[in-house]
Amino acid sequence: MAMMVALTTAVSGMQAEQTALDTIANNIANVNTTGYKAQTTTFSDILSQTISSATAATSTTGGTNPVQTGLGVSVASTSTDTSVGSTSSTSNWTDVALTGEGYYIVQLSDGSYAYTRNGSMSVDDEGNLTIDGYIVCGWEDYDLDADGNIVYNTDSDVEAINIYSDSYAGDKYTLTPTVTTSSSISGNLNSEDDVAANATGLTSIGDTTDLDFDATTEITVYDSQGNDYDVTVSLKKCAVEGDITTWYYELSSDDTTISPSSGYIAFDADGNIVTSATTLSATVQDTAGYTSSDITASTAAASGTYNIVVTGTSGAYTITAYDSSGTAVSNSITSTDGSGTLTLTAGGTLELTAPTTISTGTSSVTVASTTTNAVTASSTSNTAGYATSNITAAADTSGDYVTAGSYVVVVTSAASGTGYDINVYAASDTTYSTSLGSVANSTDGSGTITLSTGGTLTLTAPTSFSTGSTTIAVTSTTSATETVTDAGYAYSNVAIGTGSTSGDYTITVAQNSDGSTWDITLAYPDGTTKTVTGSKDGSATFTTTAGTITLSAPDDIQAGTTTFTVASTSYTFTDSSTITVTTPASAGTSDITVELDFSDLETSDTSDSLSDDTDGYSAGTASSYSISSDGTIYCTYDNGETISIGEIALAVFENAEGLNKIGDSLYTESLSSGDADFVVAGEGGSGTMTSYALELSNVDLASEFSNMMISQRAYQANSKMISTCDDVLQSLINMVG
């Protein structure tokens, strides 16, 4: 009987090792199965036969152990190695490998779910995402966040994924046009850029016709029919007041009109956009840019001050002269560069040449007339002896000059007393009936004669002098001098420091005798003055306990004055603008309303760089797909848009080793595995997804071959046990015989 126990025990061993070999064979067979998990067979012994029980120790004897004989072995379990296998790259977007403990969810024909590690997916002709014919499950129901992005409702039940259409998004294979509603401009504006030369305030940039913008970007907006329009967004640093810097933006398009098409945004000292500010600003009298050398007055122009006013835009300026009361005193001319001729109403002209920098504004010029006389003594009609060098004509005390013409200087013996009497007559007065002026009792022919017709003749003693007459010719020449009194400073040249006093200031510029340096004097509102000497270009800094005023070099420095007024000014800015893009009539669509947002802009000392995020698109058809690491499926359309169209879900289990295998690399839940928990890839230890890759089997052939040899030897040993028992039984039978 005992020998039979040995036989059955050896048989149980052979049966257990056969099961182990079956497991090893299955592992080796699936060494190339995608996502396959290797299994291992474990054993346990069978209930032992007790021959004698254990006894306890007594005072005289020791305890004894039980005497038991085992009755064989049984298969305890087949455990599954759920570790992640290595990955292999592929060329298919539908091949997806997992990096964690998650399982793909597929729908069976009866509507229930099964789970797999096999990520070799495909799309059928209906648009279903499948694994070996089973539809992959996930989420298609979604909401839109505040920015309009799709957010899937991952707390809802999973459902079969179709990438062509669903009940939530409708047709996903083609896109209908979507009108543009918002555009966000982001990036950096270089704080080192120069301010606009013609700016007169934080929100007054001046003429923008030929403005050289610092940064530009192009956005594309779409109407309701999918027609696209390119809109250029250009920005220029406008002005700086204290800690506030403003930038002017302009919107332009070749195909549409835009309203409003321009505006201003502001930044603080840290480069952050602001919507309000209070600053000390300087209002500087605009200068048109003319200097004294740019203006020539004709001799007929009346002396006085003229205000040359330039209006219009670059390339199309209008220029007019006004008097101090604001009355026009000339015709108006148009000019591309500031040059031209103004005809004065009272007579004469002002000839203008193009200044170095022309801009809208006013240049004040003072015109002063200067008259000079010249005298020529006749060499043939001259008995008195006066030469040209002996006679000088000049203005009298009233400022009147000798009228041009011919005169006769007549020398006679003194009518009373000694010496000579000298009279001047008009040459036409041949009888010398009316003296225009005289000097009496000259001893040598010298003297000064004031003429009744205006002017004086000064005579010096001639070399050879006698009674008689000298005929002279007097000429009169009148010329004009022009002086522009503006020193040349503009708004952009005046920086007002915090704490400076409000009121009117005057800058006075005087050129030094060296011809290359300037003395700059600033008169404060209270009448006090401060002077900076020896400035090479007109720049100067004036510091008091009340604040600092800094002057930068103007484009054209000259002797003169510039006045400006300092006042506290409050501004309100915006970091966004609602614009209307008017579509052409041929488009047959409504105008486009776009919320243009600048709140993501900042300034720093790095180069200008702009980008945009603009919604809206034209019609499109699906052209390619991709799967992200969290399982979101994206479709890229031939219009360039990429939109998410679903999200693949994963299942995780408390005990994945307890899952039931049902074939086709599928698993189902069991009492041991616990219920599936549906999660987004990357959550709950599920791992992330890697597209264009597959998870390989985690079977280790070296281990399998080693285990196979061990099982083989164990099987052989058990079979040897049977042959041994057979030999013993045969010997026993032979003894009986």
Total count of domains within the chain? 5
Structural domain range at position 268: 185-275+573-614
In the prediction, which pLDDT does 711 show?
83
Same domain, 19 and 63: yes
406's CB contacts (< 8 A; 6+ apart) are 426, 427, 428, 471, 472, 473, 474
CB 580 within 8 A of CB 186: no
- The CA-atom distances, in angstroms, between 508 and each of 278, 305, 551, 560 are 29, 18, 12, 6
Contact 329, 344 (CB under 8 A): yes
Share of the chain above pLDDT 90, in %: 48
Question: Residues 409, 464: one domain?
Answer: yes
| Per-residue pLDDT at 8 | 80
Residues 545 and 623 in one domain: no
Rounded Cα distance between 347 and 300, Å, is: 6
Q: Does 343 reside within a domain?
A: no
pLDDT digits (tens, 9 = 90+) for 57-114: 888 888 888 776 767 788 877 888 888 888 899 999 999 999 999 999 999 999 999 9
pLDDT score of 133: 93
Q: Which band of pLDDT confidence, cut at 50, 70 and 90, is reported for residue 153? A: very high
3 state SS of 446: coil
Is pLDDT at 651 greater than 60 in this prediction?
yes
**pLDDT-based confidence at residue 348 (cuts at 50, 70, 90):** confident
Q: Does residue 359 surpass a pLDDT of 90?
A: no
Where b means 16+ CB within 10 Å and e means fewer, 642-661 reads: ebbbbbbbbbbbeebeebee
Pair 78, 124 in one domain: no
Segment holding 727, helix H or strand E: helix 701-736
With tokens 């040059």, the residue in question is: 339
160 pLDDT band, cuts 50/70/90, is very high
CA atoms within 13 A on the CB side of 710: 10
Q: How confident is the model at residue 588, as a pLDDT?
A: 87
Last residue of a domain, one of 475, 505, 528: 475
The pLDDT of residue 2 = 61
- Whether 689 and 718 map to the same domain: the answer is no
Please tell me which of 72-86, 179-193, 198-212 the model is most confident about, judged by mean pLDDT: 179-193
**Where residue 482 falls among pLDDT bands split at 50, 70, 90?**
low
pLDDT level of residue 286 (50, 70, 90 thresholds)? low
Residues 61, 109 within the same domain: no
In a domain, 405, yes or no: yes
- Per-residue pLDDT at 4: 74
- φ, ψ of residue 648 to 5 degrees: the values are -75, 130
Q: Which of 12-21, 247-256, 280-289, 607-616 has the lowest mean pLDDT?
A: 280-289
Are 387 and 437 within one domain? yes
**Are 561 and 640 contained in the same domain?**
no
pLDDT tens for 674-683 read 999 999 999 9
H runs (alpha helix) in 610-667: none
Average pLDDT over residues 148-154: 92
Look at residue 59 in the predicted model and tell me its pLDDT.
83
End-to-end CA distance of the chain: 19
Same structural domain, 729 and 663? no
- Percent of the chain predicted with pLDDT > 70: 98
Does residue 306 lie within any of the structural domains?
no
pLDDT digits (tens, 9 = 90+) for 688-737: 999 999 988 888 888 888 888 988 887 888 888 888 887 888 887 888 75
The DSSP code for 83 is: P
- Does 631 fall in a domain? yes
Who wins on pLDDT, 126 or 482? 126
CA distance 71 to 292: 126
* The pLDDT of residue 229 is above 70: yes
Among 201-210, 299-308, 607-616, top mean pLDDT goes to: 607-616
Residue 480, pLDDT score: 66
Q: For residue 316, tell me if it sits in a domain.
A: no
Q: Is residue 336 part of a domain?
A: no
Higher pLDDT, 547 or 432: 432
In tens, the pLDDT along 118-139 reads 999 999 999 999 999 999 999 9
Looking at the fold, whether 463 and 539 belong to one and the same domain comes out as: no
Is the pLDDT at 159 greater than 90? The verdict is: yes
More confident call, 370 vs 220: 220
pLDDT in tens, 657-668: 889 999 999 999
Comparing 79-83, 170-174, 299-303, 604-608, the range with the smallest average pLDDT is: 299-303
- Where do the DSSP E strands lie in 148-303? 150-152, 159-160, 165-166, 170-171, 174-175, 182-190, 215-222, 228-241, 244-252, 257-259, 262-267, 273-274, 276-284, 295-297
Is 559 inside a domain boundary? yes
> Whole-angstrom Cα distance, residue 306 to residue 287?
13
**pLDDT value at 483 more than 80:** no
Between 484 and 235, whose confidence is greater?
Answer: 235
pLDDT digit string, tens, across residues 569-607: 888 999 999 999 999 988 889 999 999 999 999 999 999
Mean pLDDT throughout 551-575? 86
Q: Does residue 614 have a pLDDT over 70?
A: yes
C-alpha atoms less than 13 angstroms from C-alpha of 626 in its C-beta half-sphere:
7
Q: How far is CA 278 from CA 191, 274, 416, 498, in A?
A: 20, 11, 87, 11
> Do 150 and 198 share a domain, yes or no?
no
* pLDDT value at 1 more than 60: no
- Model confidence pTM above 0.85: no
**Maximum Cα interatomic distance, the chain, rounded to a whole number of Å:** 207
694 contacts 33 by C-beta, under 8 angstroms? no
What does the buried/exposed string (b/e) look like for 86-119 if buried means 16 or more CB atoms within 10 Å of the residue's CB?
A: ebeebeebbbbbbbbbbbbbbbeeeeebbbbbbb
CA dihedral 630, 631, 632, 638 (to 10 degrees): 120
pLDDT at 653: 94
Confirm if 648 and 627 have CB atoms less than 8 A apart: yes
pLDDT confidence band for 236 (50 / 70 / 90): very high
Same domain, residue pair 421 and 386 = yes
Task: From 410, 443, 475, give the residue that closes a domain.
Answer: 475
Question: Is residue 475's pLDDT more than 90?
Answer: no
Q: Is the pLDDT of residue 381 over 90?
A: no
Task: Indicate whether 22 pLDDT > 80.
Answer: yes
**What distance in Å separates the CA atoms of residue 723 and residue 710, rounded to the nearest whole number?**
20
Residue 326 forms part of a structural domain = no
